[in-house]
């Protein structure tokens, strides 16, 4: 099976400060991948490299077999860790904007998810609660028929009910055979849906592999394993 995301000796420095060093892994297409690590471990830098927002200092990163470019962005749906919505827009305008911008955007999927959440198309984004604004951002991302979904801290700072909605949306609306790349430090919440895990610690890969194999080999859950790997 071909790799949807592959790193080979990937290194990224900010001046004299290394953010990633000699990172190597290969993730096959399909499933839900957890990019796990505490703040400052290099998760966001890796995501920005995958999206072509940064260039490697050394090594390489490939998305669907190619260096990040407009071609790979066309098959990658990205949800940043900060709100990207324009609050002057109405929901219907945000949907129309996404439909115009992304050829693979499915308006019917977006409308289905919005109806399920109870968000009206005529509502102004600035009138939505912070939680519903975050859910709207997720809906616009998951409404695409992308090969790879990169979600940066999608469940950080939300209440348990919102967390359940987010994870349920990810699992039920992602296209068949697509890959979801979840960046988070909240391991216990996402462990049930993961198929693969990558532990980043201070810019290096501390551990990586299929979830079942890691748990069997170490004899414990990913959450407990995470606490051991990142124990002070």
Q: Phi, psi (5° rounding) for residue 109?
A: -65, -45
Report the alpha-carbon distance of residue 188 to residue 112 in Å, rounded.
29
Report the alpha-carbon distance of residue 141 to residue 2 in Å, rounded.
24
Cβ neighbours of residue 180 under 8 Å, at least 6 residues apart? Answer: 31, 32, 33, 149, 151, 170, 174
Report the alpha-carbon distance of residue 155 to residue 124 in Å, rounded.
23
pLDDT in tens, 131-181: 888 889 999 999 999 999 999 988 776 777 778 888 888 888 899 889 999
| pLDDT score recorded for residue 98 | 94
| Beta-bridge mates of residue 60 | 8
| pLDDT score recorded for residue 1 | 59
pTM beyond 0.75: yes
Q: Phi, psi (5° rounding) for residue 89?
A: -75, 155
Q: Which of 155, 153, 86, 94 is nearest to 119 (CA)?
A: 94
| pLDDT score recorded for residue 232 | 53
Contact 229, 219 (CB under 8 A): no
Question: What ranges in the chain are assigned the alpha helix state H?
Answer: 43-50, 70-73, 91-101, 107-117, 130-142, 160-173, 187-190, 211-218, 222-229
- Stretches in the chain below the pLDDT threshold 70: 1, 157, 218, 230-232
Report the alpha-carbon distance of residue 98 to residue 208 in Å, rounded.
34
Report the alpha-carbon distance of residue 54 to residue 46 in Å, rounded.
9
**3-state secondary structure (DSSP) of residue 11:** strand
| pLDDT score recorded for residue 77 | 95
Angle between helices 222-229 and 211-218 (to 10 degrees): 70
Residues in the chain: 232
| pLDDT score recorded for residue 109 | 94
Report the alpha-carbon distance of residue 108 to residue 36 in Å, rounded.
32
| Beta-bridge mates of residue 148 | 76, 179
């Amino acid at each position: 099976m071909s790799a949807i995301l592959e790193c080979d000796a990937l290194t990224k420095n900010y001046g004299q400060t290394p953010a990633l060093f000699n990172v190597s892994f290969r993730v096959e297409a399909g499933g839900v991948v957890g990019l796990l690590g505490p703040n400052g471990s290099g998760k966001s830098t890796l995501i920005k490299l995958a999206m072509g927002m940064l260039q490697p200092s050394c090594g390489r990163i490939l998305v669907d077999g190619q260096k990040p470019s407009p071609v790979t962005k066309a098959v990658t749906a990205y949800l940043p860790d900060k709100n990207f919505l324009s609050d002057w827009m109405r929901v219907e305008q945000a949907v129309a904007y996404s439909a115009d911008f992304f050829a693979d955007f499915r308006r019917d999927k977006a409308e289905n998810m919005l109806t399920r959440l109870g968000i009206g198309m005529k509502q102004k984004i600035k009138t939505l609660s912070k939680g519903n604004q975050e859910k709207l951002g997720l809906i616009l991302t998951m409404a695409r028929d992308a090969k790879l979904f990169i979600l940066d801290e999608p469940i950080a700072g939300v209440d348990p009910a919102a967390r359940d909605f987010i994870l349920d949306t990810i699992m039920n609306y992602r296209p068949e055979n697509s890959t979801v790349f979840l960046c988070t430090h909240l391991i216990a919440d996402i462990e049930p849906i993961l198929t693969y895990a990558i532990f980043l610690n201070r810019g290096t890969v501390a551990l990586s592999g299929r979830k079942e194999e890691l748990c069997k080999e170490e004899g414990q859950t990913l959450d407990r394993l995470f606490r051991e790997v990142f124990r002070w």
